[in-house]
């Protein structure tokens, strides 16, 4: 913590704990938001890659359903794509909204 921040908090009568909770933590959270967003999107992507082992099983079940019910169209992979894009979109949009709400006018970009 810079000396000027510590001095300003002391002049306002804040204890060390109050300084951390009311000054340091909010600023650190705002600064770390872009990295946190990137990590969350990456987590969604890598979790999806972990399911690569289950894709053959999913395809087998899809073909099985297709063979059992030939009139029912079952685009399983298209459904997976839509769900994946939706999940990544929701995480990105939510984090972007949270970041915009936490932005301090005149501070940073």
Per-residue pLDDT tens over the stretch 39-77: 888 887 777 665 665 666 666 777 777 777 766 665 766
**Mean of pLDDT values over 28-33:** 84
Query: What's the pLDDT score for residue 60?
Result: 75
In this prediction the pTM is 0.55
Q: What is the reported pLDDT for 48? A: 63
pLDDT bucket at 37, cuts 50 / 70 / 90: confident
Number of helical (H) and strand (E) elements in the chain, helices listed first: 5, 0
Specify whether the CB–CB gap between 99 and 33 falls below 8 A.
yes
For the four alpha carbons of 90, 91, 94 and 96, in that order, the dihedral sign comes to negative
């Amino acid at each position: 913590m810079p000396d000027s921040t510590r001095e300003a908090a002391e002049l306002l009568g804040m204890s060390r704990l109050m300084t951390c909770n009311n000054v340091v933590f909010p600023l650190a959270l705002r600064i770390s938001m872009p990295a946190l967003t990137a990590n969350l999107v990456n987590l969604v992507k890598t979790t999806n890659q972990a399911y690569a082992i289950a894709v053959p099983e999913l395809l087998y079940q899809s073909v099985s359903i297709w063979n059992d019910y030939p009139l029912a169209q079952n685009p399983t992979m298209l459904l997976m794509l839509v769900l994946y894009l939706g999940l990544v979109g929701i995480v990105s949009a939510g984090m972007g909204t949270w970041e915009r709400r936490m932005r301090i006018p005149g501070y940073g970009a």
